[in-house]
Amino acid sequence: MSLWDFLFPPVCPHCGASVATQGDWCESCFTDLLHIRHVPNKFLHYVEDVCVLAEYRGGLKSMIYDVKFNEKKEQSKGVAPFLASYNLYMKYDEFHIVNSKCSVIYDYIIPVPSSERKKAKRGYNQVDLFFINWAKSLQNIDNKHFAWLDCLYKFDTSNDMWALTNKERHQNIEEAFVIGANYKDIELKDKTILIVDDIYTTGATIEAVAKVIRAYKPSKIDALTLASGSF
């Protein structure tokens, strides 16, 4: 047991039951929240597939909120078992990746960025905290794929999405993203892309990001989010 765990005994983020280490969930709560599913195609335009890992409620909702707004970076560890379940779902293990037996192997994993103002205020982009170590673990298996590509820039002209209607969300975010100045010559043609984000609500953010990436003519754009409510 680590000193941190000794001083602050780890508990399930959802129900408060004792667990082995920080970031763990009790089996009951994890099973209740885990719900791997795909957004119906009728909602998708620039992105081909959006996979959601869990229900946006209870302890997972609180964890995401605390990481985003309460500077509790350490709670981002709680996403690990959900991403491990995604690995099982996609057959992302050494045997299947090395032998190209996965349904999709992505060339690049691209995080949805925060605006510079929000990133400066928090000190980080929460999407990086949630996904970057997972991406690195995949690239440790296959260093020719799964590269983390933080190539997007978000203008600080949009309002907070949580306060807007569905129509306002799309209008607010539509032109908010561009490829960053240092990546203008990036070669994405015929590459497979996975966009990662924390929450799927209306799809406005992911569609806006995918629209920008689509101009570089990749062969495939999918997305992965931690959580969503009902579609």
Exposed (0-12), middle (13-18) or buried (19+): which is 123, by Cβ within 10 Å? exposed
pLDDT score for 83: 98
What Rg do the C-alpha atoms of the chain give, in angstroms?
18
At 25 the three-state DSSP class reads coil
Residue 169 has pLDDT above 70, yes or no: no
Predicted confidence (pLDDT) per residue in 34-44, tens digit: 999 999 999 89
pLDDT score for 163: 60
Report d(CA 37, CA 48) in Å as an integer. Answer: 14
Distances 72 to 56, 62, 161 between C-alpha atoms, Å? 18, 11, 21
pLDDT score for 222: 99
Residue 219 confidence class, pLDDT cut points 50, 70, 90: very high
Predicted confidence (pLDDT) per residue in 73-127, tens digit: 999 999 999 999 999 999 999 999 999 999 899 999 999 999 988 888 899 999 9
- The DSSP output letter for 20 is S
The token pair that represents 199 in the structure block: 């929450």
Report d(CA 127, CA 212) in Å as an integer. Answer: 18
Which region holds residue 23: left if phi is over 0, alpha if psi is between -120 and 50, else beta?
A: left
Bridge-based pairing of strands 49-55 and 34-38 is antiparallel
Report d(CA 180, CA 110) in Å as an integer. Answer: 12
Residue 166 confidence class, pLDDT cut points 50, 70, 90: low
Report d(CA 28, CA 172) in Å as an integer. Answer: 38
